[in-house]
Amino acid sequence: MFNKNKEVTGLTTSLTHIVDDHEKFVNYNNLLAFFMKYHPIISMAKFLTFRYSFPIMLKQTALLAEHKKLGGKLVDFGGWELPVQYSGVLAEHTAVRTAAGLFDVSHMGEILVEGDGALDFVNYLVTNDVSTLAVEQAQYSALCNQNGGIVDDLVVYRLGEKKFFLVVNASNTDKDFAHIQTIYSGYDGTKPKLSNVSPQYSQIAIQGPKSELILQKLTETRLNEIKTYWCKEGKVLNIPTIIARTGYTGEDGFEIYVPWHDAPTIWGALLQTGSPDGLIPCGLGARDTLRLEMKYSLYGHELSDDTNPLEVGLGWVTKLNKKSDFVGKEAILALKNKGQTKSLVGVKSLGRGIPRQGYEVYSHDQKKRIGVITSGTSSPSLKYPIGVAFIDKEFEAVGTKLFVKVRDDFHEFEIIKTPFYKKEQA
């Protein structure tokens, strides 16, 4: 952590004094936050002038050179240098819906819990019931704090009777592991071994209806035997991997966990093998439009430390009746008994206004502010604007019309059933 006793008298002096901590500044937001805390008289103009004179070190995946070679447009995503697009969001989105797309998701975090007590500890840690998992089965779940707020959403893989592989969001990896360690320190059951193994893994996702066809050419693992939300430890190009039939797009596909340094070999082979079948590299832009069409939640948008699983539609992964206790259960039960006041809904534009995160939502008479947009885009598949809104529960009924303030204008929207995109619409 930063040394609060360091003398900070100006931007240049500040840089000199904190140069040893430069790795903390994984993005410009973190740098600004630091200076605003320890040098509050700084002006935004001075900061912007300074920010472009100081090279911020972004984290890089093992595939950075591949992204550059393919012409990927690289951006700062939560402190990671990742491609937002290659050929364009629309083309990449369409490829995933109709053929296949390849994503670098190596920025995701991996945490291993193993040994005696692993099952009971993980079951105490998350909201879902991991005791129902068979070996090689996966489960979507949530980590909560004691107030019932969502620390993160995650996927739990049971790799063995006493071995669990937790995959968490990239920007939350350090926070999540610290949270888990805090819970671990006060846990009075048998304590398993905890390891943040994120630096050991790259993660490559191949998504789309032709994913199995393409990946099968590079592995002897029988992919047709892996059901949705199941996995197998196998080999791709004779490289040890975890092959999971999971994803974040609403399409069939696989997420492949490989040794960090082997990612370029597998990435290149998949592109070469899959290109004749329409496989193309895809960036974060398409990943976001694909997940939004399915109304999949994204941390920092629909989910936060202050949102409760019941309010954001995650009651289905919050097992209040499971035999074991879990972190945040008491607070979540209290909300359930009291009755929730907020709801997460899908909205469709009745005009041309495109909703964006943070836009205010109003009742149809425009007299009452009832919520806020958490995510929004113009749907590539449906050809009209869609969004997700966190609103007062009394307005949640499908068919309810409301207004979203887009800049200075009010645009009419309607609450519709989700997911927005369904395969029969294709």
* Mean of pLDDT over the chain: 90
Has residue 41 got a pLDDT over 60? no
Provide the pLDDT for residue 311.
Answer: 95
Has residue 2 got a pLDDT over 80? no
Provide the pLDDT for residue 20.
Answer: 33
Has residue 111 got a pLDDT over 80? yes
Has residue 17 got a pLDDT over 70? no
Has residue 3 got a pLDDT over 70? no
Provide the pLDDT for residue 55.
Answer: 57
More confident residue, 23 or 87: 87
Residue recorded with tokens 């303030």: 405
Question: Region 82-99: what's the mean pLDDT?
Answer: 98
Structure tokens at 166: 């937790």
Percent of the chain with pLDDT over 70: 86
Q: Which long-range contacts (CB under 8 A, 24 or more apart) does 72-76 make?
A: 72/281, 72/283, 73/283, 75/284, 76/27, 76/28
Provide the pLDDT for residue 7.
Answer: 30
Question: Region 80-102: what's the mean pLDDT?
Answer: 98
User: Using CA atoms, how far apart are residues 299 and 304, in angstroms rounded to an integer?
Assistant: 6
User: Using CA atoms, how far apart are residues 210 and 97, in angstroms rounded to an integer?
Assistant: 10
Has residue 33 got a pLDDT over 80? no
DSSP states of 2-22: --TTS---SHHHHHHHHGGGG
Provide the pLDDT for residue 171.
Answer: 87
Task: Map out the domains of the chain with their CATH numbers.
Answer: 11-51 (no CATH), 60-338 (3.30.1360.120), 341-421 (2.40.30.110)
Provide the pLDDT for residue 57.
Answer: 83
Three-state SS for 401? strand
Has residue 4 got a pLDDT over 60? no
pLDDT in tens, 132-164: 999 999 999 999 999 999 999 999 999 999 999
Q: What is the band of 26 on the pLDDT scale with cuts at 50, 70, 90?
A: very low
Eight-class DSSP state of 381? T
Model pTM greater than 0.75?
Answer: yes
